[in-house]
Amino acid sequence: MNNKHLIRAIISLVSLLLLGSEVAKAERPPKILNPYRIIVKYKSTPSTQSMSLQNKVTNVSHQAGIQVDTSKPMANGAFVVAFDKMAVNSMSMNNDISPKELMERTLKKLQNDPNVLYAIHDDILSTNYNHKDQWDELAAPRGVQVEGENGAWNETMGDPSIVVAVVDTGIAHNDDLTENRLPGYSFVYGSVDPTDEGYETGYHGTHVAGTVAANGKLIGMAPHSKILPVQVLGDNGNGYTSDVINGVYWAAGFDVPGAPRNRNPAHVVNLSLGGNRACSAAWKEAIDAVLYNGTTIVVAAGNEDNNVVTSSPANCPGVISVAATNRHAHRSYYSNYGTRVTIAAPGGEIRWLSSRGILSTVKDGYAYYQGTSMAAPHVSGIIALMLSVNPYLTPAQIKEIIVSTASEFPADKPGYTCVGDYSCGAGIIFATGAVQGAMEYIGYQKK
């Protein structure tokens, strides 16, 4: 072979290798989710303790009269059963009812079983998203006031020992996140690689993570603290409740069947996601366990311009539920509200001008987004600042400080105000006051 042909062969080989890498990268399409799944937990009795997972799944299948497609264990003894979609549709047609009604009847059968502690829908949850440019970091009340002469950063910019878990779509590459990113896990793909490929997610988790602790061209709330990526939502931005609950357990340091142990348990868990349902027994159980373990849970209130009682897990007792405000410190037009909201934070509005949104990281770049998803990580990042000056604070103390030091809402815009029937919690989170409040608690030692 002469040199000319050799060069052509090398070029062809390199082209094939490059093409192969692109094909391999594209082989993971958006995951199609199964809506016919339930979460079950049996009571702890001598008879149930001796049952294997397979026996429990078989019992569920017999009670439902529906073929099971897959099953898997969850943390804390619960398990997930996914019914075969064709079997559900066929049985629904035979009984002249909708698949939704069939699943409701199945749940009632299981809930009436005296051996069952709880049985709930494994709901499909979704992302909540509908230095001078970071208006959300500037002076109160429109911003949270981490920057400036009287900003919280004068006391601390975070501490590497404090970990915030971003339980979301995973995190894509961005140089501003590299320094603070810890090894995570994907409950969507059962992998130690929680990378957000961004097919339909808009790099949601990456944007959330940047607001928490980016440290580069863009600066997050706690740029010296760490981010733990936990992927529970797939490439289309949706995911199962069971994966989210497992992700919360794992983030807080609990053992989860099939997942490696988390070597960096989180002090704060950020959930910028939700679904339309009352707070379930499974969520209450998980939240109680994680709070008791000392981990604070922050949840986006939702973007339906509705009362938060319809949005889970933001409506669950014990969490810090976060509404969104705009550059005028009014309630963002989309934000949920109600007495179950704990606090508000900047979530932005981009319907008229993109720069009125929240600027944060996406894959190898930046973007303005809006949503309570963008508000929640402000609170999570500020909690990281609080724990950086006082790591002894409990979740209840953190919540108390945030509520008692919040900036007041303006009451000059009917319809989108955060007062009266449209309550957005105690006020807009005030970073300076929250950090000072943390320092005043017993156990504070300035670092």
DSSP line for 172-226: ---HHHHTTBPP-EETTTTBS------SSSTTHHHHHHHHHH-BSSSB-SSTTSE
Compute the distance between CA of residue 338 and CA of residue 1 in angstroms, rounded to an integer: 77
DSSP line for 273-310: EEEESPPPHHHHHHHHHHHHTT-EEEEE--SSSSBGGG
Compute the distance between CA of residue 361 and CA of residue 261 in angstroms, rounded to an integer: 28
173 is catalytic: no
Burial (0-12, 13-18, 19+ Cβ within 10 Å), 34: middle
Spell out a b/e string for 80-89, using b for 16 or more CB atoms within 10 Å of the CB, else e. bbbbbeebbe
- Written as one letter, the residue type at 164 is V
H/E run at residue 14: helix 3-25
What is the helix, strand, coil percentage profile of the chain, to 5?
Answer: 35, 20, 45
Peptide bond into 346 cis (omega under 30): no
Of residues 122, 136, 196, 204, which has the active-site annotation? 204
Of residues 280, 335, 373, 423, which has the active-site annotation? 373
DSSP 406: P
204 is catalytic: yes
Tally of CB atoms within 10 A around 419: 14
H/E run at residue 22: helix 3-25
| 304, 334 contact by CB (below 8 A) | yes
Question: Whose structure tokens read 């810890």?
Answer: 182
373 is catalytic: yes
Q: Where are the alpha helices (DSSP H) in 268-413?
A: 281-292, 372-389, 395-404
Of residues 136, 168, 176, 196, which has the active-site annotation? 168
Reduce the DSSP state of residue 233 to 3 states and report it: coil
> Two tokens at 145?
């006031």
DSSP line for 112-181: T-TTEEEEEE-PEEEE-----S-GGGSSTTTS---SSTT-GGGT-S--TT-EEEEEES-----HHHHTTB
Active site members: 168, 204, 373
